[in-house]
C-alpha cells in the first residue's frame, strides 16, 4: 500500500469520516471544563482512573445503552495473535472490567471518576461525531440509594460549577423498578413482550403520549410514512404504562402517590417507589429542592439498561435549531444504577451507580448562551525588519515572556512586511512590535495597537483617528510597560 | 460471539496485552504536568490542536521514525466502506495532515501544540506500553533555523518548569545536513549504501564508536552471539563518519571547527554547519549556555527521519536500573526539522520543525527523583452508625465540602463498623467522623485523627499514646474547625 513507487497518487488530507479536529480555544475550553468537573468529583471523594482506550471485545461485552446491536457500534479489529480488541465506547464498561480485575486491591466502595474520548462506530450526522468526550463518576459497591442521591446532588453542583445557573437545568429522576412493577401488575410475563414494551417506552421522548399509546396497541404511521407495527396490547393493558409515564405531579409526594397507584400490588414496584422516596428525602434534606432535582417518571432514556434509579440532567433553556425553530436544549448527562455489570466477570453481583456528562454537548450549550467563547487574543508579535538581527528580536520576545506576556517573533519569511502584519491579524494578536534600522539607531520601537486599530477601522470618525493613533513610538526601554498598558486596558 | 447463551464462560477481566490502567495520582500528576507543559508552549505563542485519534492509513503514511516497516507498528483496521483507518502513532503525522487540509485558513507559520495518547502496535516490554502520552509543539512554515533554536530554548524552559533543575538535563543539537555532507565527501553515491550507513549510525548509542567502526566495515559479533554483517567500507572510508560522530569539542566553536574538517568541500555539509552556528549564536544571545543546550554530533536518534537540525533532551542524573546497575536516565524528548512531511499531500515543500516530549518517561524521572508522588491524603470519611440517619451524615459531609474540605459519607454496607474504618484506611483518609446515637443525644461527635493514629501505631511510646490521643470528642458545632485544624497541621 505504501510502496516507494514515486508515481503513487498523493494521499488525501482528510479527517476520517465522522471525525473532526479541534483548534485553539475549542481545545482549551474543553480542558478547562474537564478540570472543573474533575474538581467537583474529586471534592466529593472520587479518585481518578484512566483506563486504556483499547479493550478486549470480550471484556467490553454488549452493554452499550440505547443500541440494539452494540457490537455494530464499536470500532474493533483482530490482533495478530487472534484476540479481538476494540476502542472503548463509553467509560462504564472499562470501569466494570477494572473493578473486576483489581477488586482485591481497590477500596469498597470504589469511587472513581474518569474522563476522555470514547468512540462509536455509528452513522455520523450534524454535530454527531464518532469520537467525543465523556466525564463520568461512579460508585461501585454501594447498595444504598444514598449513593444515587449523592450522584444527583453532585451532578447539580457540577452543572452550576461549569456555568449553568440554577433554573437553566433540571436533574430528573426515575426508577426502573417502578416500571418493572408496572409491567408485573399488567401481568406481562412474556419476555419478548416486556422487551417490546421497554423499546416502545424508549420512544416516549420522540412520539409523546399519543404515539406510545398507538405503538403499545396496533401500531403507528411514522413521520416518514412507514407503518410501525405495535406491541399489540389492548387499551386497558396499555393504560398502566401510560399512567406511569405521565405520573409526575406538582410535588414529590403527589408523584409518589400516582406511582403507588400505577404499580398496584407489585413488590418490586413498591421497592422502586420506596427508593424514589428515600432519594427525595435525602435530596430535600440536603437542600436540593424542586428547582434543581425532581422525580419525573417520564425519564425513559436508559430505562432498559439500568436496574434501579435512573437520572438525567436536562438544560431547560431554549435555543434555535439549525432550521431556526425554538427548542429546548435537552439532555447533557445521564446515569443510574446498574447492578449487574461486574457480575459478568466475577459471577457476584456488585451494586453500582454513576453518571456520565456529555462534555461536548455541555460546551455547545455554554457557547450557545455566550458563557464561554468570548474572543481571546493571540500572542504579541515582534516583527522582523532586518533578518540579520534575529537575536535582537528574540531578546525582545524573551523580555515580554519574562514579564508574563505571551509573545513570539515572526518566524515566516520576513521579506514581505505586509505578510507579517497579516499574520498578526490572523493570530488575533493584540500588539505588533516593529524595530527597523532607524528605530534601532534612535533607541526606539514602534508599537501597533491592533485591537484599537481594528475597532477604529470599523467605526471611528476622522477626529478619533487623529486623536487616538493606534501606532506610536516609545523608547525601547519602555516596551514591556507600554505593551502591558495596552493589554491591561483591552483584555 | 456475544450470544445470549447462559452457559457462555465468563469474560476475563484483563487489560489487553501491552496496555495498562492508571489510578489516582498517576492520572492527576500526569494531568498537572501536561497542563504545565501546555502553559509554556502557549506562552511561547503556540495554539492548541486536538486532532482525532483515528486517521486514514493513507494520511498517516509511513513516517514513523526509527521503525523500518511502520505499518507493522500501527493499530489499523478496515471500515465497512473499505477505507483503512488506524490509531495515530504520533502527533506529527496528524499535524501534517491537518496543515495540508486547512492550510488556506491557518496562519503561516502555523504554531501548534498538541498532547494526548498515541498508540504503537509493538512488542510490549517492561515499562514499555502500547499506549503512551506525547506532548508536542511544532512550527510549520518557518524556513529559518531561528524556529529550531526557539524550540530548543522552549524545551529547556519546559523541563525546568516541570521540575527538572538546570544541571540535571541537557538539550543536545545535531544536524542532518552535516551528516549528508560527510556522506557526500565520502563519495557514497549508492542510495542503498547511504541507507546502510544511516542505519548503522543509529546504533551508535548502543554499540559505541568501536561498534560502529566494525559495523561500517566487515561486521560485528553482537552480545547475543549473532554475527551482524557490516556495510563493507574500508577503514579510510569509514573515518569521516566516525570523525563526525565524535566531533564534539569543549566549546561550540571547537565542535564547529571539527565538523568543518569532517565535511570537506560539501556544500550541503557547509549549510548544515552554518545552521548549527546560527542556532548556537541565537541560543547564546538568549542566555542559553552550555549548561543547558550544546552542539553534539553524537545525537543520532532521528537522523534518518529529520532533514535539518535534530535535537534531543537528556536527563543527566543517574538512576538504578531494574538490575540494580547505575545508568543515566537518558532521553525524554526529541525533535528536529522535517521539511517534507506536508509535501506528501500538497506537492509543495513546507518547512517545519518541532519537538515531542515523552510525558510518561518524564513523569517516571520526576518520581525517581522524589519530586512528585509524595503521599497524598484521601477524603475525610463520615461513618454511618445508624443507617436511618443518612440525611444527618450527608449534612455533615455537605458542611465539610462547603468549607472546602474533601469529604464523603461511607456508602458501603454500614453493618460492620470495622469495615468502615478499614475503608478509610485504604483511602488514606486523614480523618474519620463518628456520630452514634449517644453522641447525637449529647450534641457531640468523635473525631479520629487517622494520620496521627498511623504514626503512633508505628513508633509511639505508651506515654505518647496517653498524651496525644488520636481519637477525641468535640461538640458537633466544632466539627469543621477541628477537622481543619488536623488537616492544617498534617498536610
Residue B367 DSSP SS3: helix
Q: Provide the edge-to-edge strand list for the sheet that holds A471-475.
A: A407-409, A380-382, A431-434, A444-449, A471-475
Within B318-470, residue ranges assigned H as helices are 343-346, 359-368, 390-402, 417-426, 437-442, 450-459, 462-467
The whole-number pLDDT of residue B491 equals 41
Would you call B412 and A142 a contact, using CB atoms and an 8 Å cutoff? yes
Cis, bond preceding B171 (omega within 30 deg of 0): no
Residues of A in contact with B398 (CB under 8 A): 286-287
Mean pLDDT (10-residue bins), chain B, 491 residues: 57 93 95 97 97 93 50 80 86 96 96 97 86 97 96 98 96 95 84 85 87 91 86 88 92 95 93 97 95 94 88 90 81 93 92 95 90 84 95 96 96 93 95 96 95 82 76 95 86 41
- The pLDDT of residue B188 is 78
CATH number of A380-490: 3.40.50.800
SS (H, E, C) chain A: CCCCCCCCCCCCCCCCCCCCCEECHHHHHHHHHHHHHHHHHHHCCCEEEECCCEEEHHHHCCCCCCCCCHHHHCCEEECCCCCEEEECCCCHHHHHHHHHHHCCCCCCCEEEEEEEEEECCCCCECCECCEEEEEEEEEECCCCCHHHHHHHHHHHHHHHHHCCCCCCEEEEEEEHHHHHHHHHHCCCCCHHHHHHHHHHHCCHHHHHHHHHHHHHCCEEECCCCCEEECCCCCHHHHHHHHHHHCCCCCCHHHHHHHHHHHHCCCHHHHHHHHHHHHHHHHHHHCCCCCCCEEECCCCCCCCCCCCCEEEEEEEEEEEECCCCCEEEEEEEEEEEECCCCCHHHHCCCCCEEEEEEEHHHHHHHHHHCCCCCCCCCCCEEECCCCHHHHHHHHHHHHHHHHCCCCEEECCCCCCCHHHHHHHHHHCCCCEEEECCHHHHHHCEEEEEEHHHHHHHHHHCCHHHHHHCCCEEEEEHHHHHHHHHHHHHHHC
Q: What pLDDT is recorded for position A489?
A: 63
Tell me which of A16, A59, A381 to substitute to probe the interface with B (most B C-beta atoms closer than 10 Å): A16
**Residue from the list A1, A54, A108 with its beta carbon closest to the beta carbon of B19:** A54
Burial class (CB in 10 A: 0-12, 13-18, 19+), A88: buried
Contact state of A21 with B75 under an 8 Å Cβ cutoff: no
On chain B, the residues whose CB falls within 8 A of the CB of A282 are 390-391, 394
The phi, psi pair for B6, rounded to 5°, reads -80, -15
Query: What residues of B are in contact with residue A379 (Cβ under 8 Å)?
Result: 44-45
CB pair distance less than 8 Å for B146 and A75:
no
N- to C-terminal Cα distance for chain B? 51
Q: Nearest by CB to A406, which of B42, B50, B83?
A: B42
* Cα–Cα distance for residue pair A336/A353, rounded to 1 Å: 5
In DSSP terms, which residues pair with A161 in a beta bridge? none
* Closest residue in chain B to residue A39, using alpha carbons only: B406
Interface with chain A: mutation pick from B36, B51, B57, B58, highest number of A CBs within 10 Å:
B58
Taking 70 as the pLDDT cut, the residues of chain A under it are 1-8, 62-72, 81-82, 189, 374, 489-491
Residues of chain A found within 8 Å of residue B286, distances taken between Cβ atoms: 391, 394-395, 398
Q: Is residue A431 within 8 Å of A449, Cβ to Cβ?
A: yes
> What are the DSSP calls for B271-318, one per residue?
HHHHHHHHHHHHHHHTT--TTTEEE-TT--TTTTT-SSEEEEEEEEEE
**Contact at CB, B286 and A395, closer than 8 angstroms:** yes
The number of C-beta contacts closer than 8 angstroms across A and B is 291
Vertex A236 angle, CA A235 and A242, to 5°: 75
Closest-CA residue to B54 (of B93, B15, B24): B93
**Which of B2, B85, B401 has the CB atom closest to A62's CB atom?**
B2
Answer whether A93's CB lies under 8 Å from A100's CB: no
* Homologous superfamily of A166-310: Bira Bifunctional Protein; Domain 2 (3.30.930.10)
Query: Contact at 8 Å (CB) between B445 and B433?
Result: yes
- Fold of the B15-140+338-374 domain: BirA Bifunctional Protein; domain 2 (3.30.930)
- Say whether B146 and A19 touch across the interface (CB within 8 A): no
Residue A81: C-alpha distances to residues A85, B84, B120 (Å): 11, 20, 16
* Spacing of C-alpha B149 from chain mean position: 21
Contacts of B35 in chain A (CB under 8 A): 31, 35
What pLDDT sits at residue A7?
A: 57
Q: How far is B211 from chain A (nearest CA, A)?
A: 31
CB spacing of B406 vs A43 below 8 angstroms: yes
Nearest to A10 among B56, B344, B409 (CB): B344
Structure confidence by residue, pLDDT tens digits, A67-100: 444 456 889 888 876 688 999 999 999 999 999 9
Decide if A150 and B54 are in contact by the 8 Å CB cutoff.
Answer: no
- Rg value, chain A, Cα: 29
DSSP bridge partners of B467? none
Q: Which of A1, A111, A347 sits opposite B408 (nearest CB)?
A: A111
Residue A62: per-residue pLDDT? 62
At A163 the pLDDT is 94
Query: What are the CA-CA distances from residue A476 to residues A385, A429, B59, B265, B379 (Å)?
Result: 15, 20, 47, 43, 53
What is the location of CATH 3.30.930.10 in chain A?
15-140+338-374, 166-310
How would DSSP label each residue in B71-120?
A: GGGS-EEE-TTS-EEEE-SSSHHHHHHHHHHHTTTS-SSEEEEEEEEEE-
**Mutate which of B11, B76, B151 to test chain A, going by most A C-beta atoms within 10 A?**
B11
Q: Do B412 and A10 touch (CB under 8 A)?
A: no
Nearest to A151 by CA among A316, A293, A299, A350: A293
Shortest CA gap B382–chain A (Å): 11
Q: How confident is the model at residue A228, as a pLDDT?
A: 87
Extract the C-alpha cell encoding B120: 504503537
Query: Which chain B residues are within 8 Å of A21, Cβ to Cβ?
Result: 49-52, 98, 102
Chain A: residue whose CA lies nearest to B49: A23
Instruction: Determine the distance from the C-alpha atom of residue A69 to the mean position of all C-alpha atoms in its chain, rounded to a whole number.
Output: 24
User: Are B150 and A43 in contact (CB < 8 Å)?
Assistant: no
Relative orientation angle of helices B146-162 and B267-285, to the nearest 10 degrees: 50
Q: Nearest chain B residue to A54 by CA: give it.
A: B16
Instruction: Inspect the interface and report whether the beta carbons of A12 and B61 lie closer than 8 Å.
Output: no
**Element housing B269 (H / E):** helix B267-285
The H-assigned helical ranges of B225-266 are: 235-245, 252-263
Closest CB to A75 among B21, B51, B77: B77
Cβ-Cβ contacts under 8 Å, A285 against chain B: 391, 394-395
DSSP 3-state of B343: helix
**Cα angle A251-A252-A258, degrees, rounded to a multiple of 5:** 95
Q: Among A52, A81, A107, whose Cβ lies nearest the Cβ of B426? A: A107
Report the distance separating Cα B38 and Cα B115, nearest Å: 8
The architecture of the domain spanning B156-318 is: 2-Layer Sandwich (3.30)
* Grid cell locating B39: 502553559
Q: Does A286 contact B98 at a Cβ distance shorter than 8 Å? A: no
Q: Where in chain B is the domain with CATH 3.30.930.10?
A: 15-140+338-374, 156-318
Amino acid at each position: 500500500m505504501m510502496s516507494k513507487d514515486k508515481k503513487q497518487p498523493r494521499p488525501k488530507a482528510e479527517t476520517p469520516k465522522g471525525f473532526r479536529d479541534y483548534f485553539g480555544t475549542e481545545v482549551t475550553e474543553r480542558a478547562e471544563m474537564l478540570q472543573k468537573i474533575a474538581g467537583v468529583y474529586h471534592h466529593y471523594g472520587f479518585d481518578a482512573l484512566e483506563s486504556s482506550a483499547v479493550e478486549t471485545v470480550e471484556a467490553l461485552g454488549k452493554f452499550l445503552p440505547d443500541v440494539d446491536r452494540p457490537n455494530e457500534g464499536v470500532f474493533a479489529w483482530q490482533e495478530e495473535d487472534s484476540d479481538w480488541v476494540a476502542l472503548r465506547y463509553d467509560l462504564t464498561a472499562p470501569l466494570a472490567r477494572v473493578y473486576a480485575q483489581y477488586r482485591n486491591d481497590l477500596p469498597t466502595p470504589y469511587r472513581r471518576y474518569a474522563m476522555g474520548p470514547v468512540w462509536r462506530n455509528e452513522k455520523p450526522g450534524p454535530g454527531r461525531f464518532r469520537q467525543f468526550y465523556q466525564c463520568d463518576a461512579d460508585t461501585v459497591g454501594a447498595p444504598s440509594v444514598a449513593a444515587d442521591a449523592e450522584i444527583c446532588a453532585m451532578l447539580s453542583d457540577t452543572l452550576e460549577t461549569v456555568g449553568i445557573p440554577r433554573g437553566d437545568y433540571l436533574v430528573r429522576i426515575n426508577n426502573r423498578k417502578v416500571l418493572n412493577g408496572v409491567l408485573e401488575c399488567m401481568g406481562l410475563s412474556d419476555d419478548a413482550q416486556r422487551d417490546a414494551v421497554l423499546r416502545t417506552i424508549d420512544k416516549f421522548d420522540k412520539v409523546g403520549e399519543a404515539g406510545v399509546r398507538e405503538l403499545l396497541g396496533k401500531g403507528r404511521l411514522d413521520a416518514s410514512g412507514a407503518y410501525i407495527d405495535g406491541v399489540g396490547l389492548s387499551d386497558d393493558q396499555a393504560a398502566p404504562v401510560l399512567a406511569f409515564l405521565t405520573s409526575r405531579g406538582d410535588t414529590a409526594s403527589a408523584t409518589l402517590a400516582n406511582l403507588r397507584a400505577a404499580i398496584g400490588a407489585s413488590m418490586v414496584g413498591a421497592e422502586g417507589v420506596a427508593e424514589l422516596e428515600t432519594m427525595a428525602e435525602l435530596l430535600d434534606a440536603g437542600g436540593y429542592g424542586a428547582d434543581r432535582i425532581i422525580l419525573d417518571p417520564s425519564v425513559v432514556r436508559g430505562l432498559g439498561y439500568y436496574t434501579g434509579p435512573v437520572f438525567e440532567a436536562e438544560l431547560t433553556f431554549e435555543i434555535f435549531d439549525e432550521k431556526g425553530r425554538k427548542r429546548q436544549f435537552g439532555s447533557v448527562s445521564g446515569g443510574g444504577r446498574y447492578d449487574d455489570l461486574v457480575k459478568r466477570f466475577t459471577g457476584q453481583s456488585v451494586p453500582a451507580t454513576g453518571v456520565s456528562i456529555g462534555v461536548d454537548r455541555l460546551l455547545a450549550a455554554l457557547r450557545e448562551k455566550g458563557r464561554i467563547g468570548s474572543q481571546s487574543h493571540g500572542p504579541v508579535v515582534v516583527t522582523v525588519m532586518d533578518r540579520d538581527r534575529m537575536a535582537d528580536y528574540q531578546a525582545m520576545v524573551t523580555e515580554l515572556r519574562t514579564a508574563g506576556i505571551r509573545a513570539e517573533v515572526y518566524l515566516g519569511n520576513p521579506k514581505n512586511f505586509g505578510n507579517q502584519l497579516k499574520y498578526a491579524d490572523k493570530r488575533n494578536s493584540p500588539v505588533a512590535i516593529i524595530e527597523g534600522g532607524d528605530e534601532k539607531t534612535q533607541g526606539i520601537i514602534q508599537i501597533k495597537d491592533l485591537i484599537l486599530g481594528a475597532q477604529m477601522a470599523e467605526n471611528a470618525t476622522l477626529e478619533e483617528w487623529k486623536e487616538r493613533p493606534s501606532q506610536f513610538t516609545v523608547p525601547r526601554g519602555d516596551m514591556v510597560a507600554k505593551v502591558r498598558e495596552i493589554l491591561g486596558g483591552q483584555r
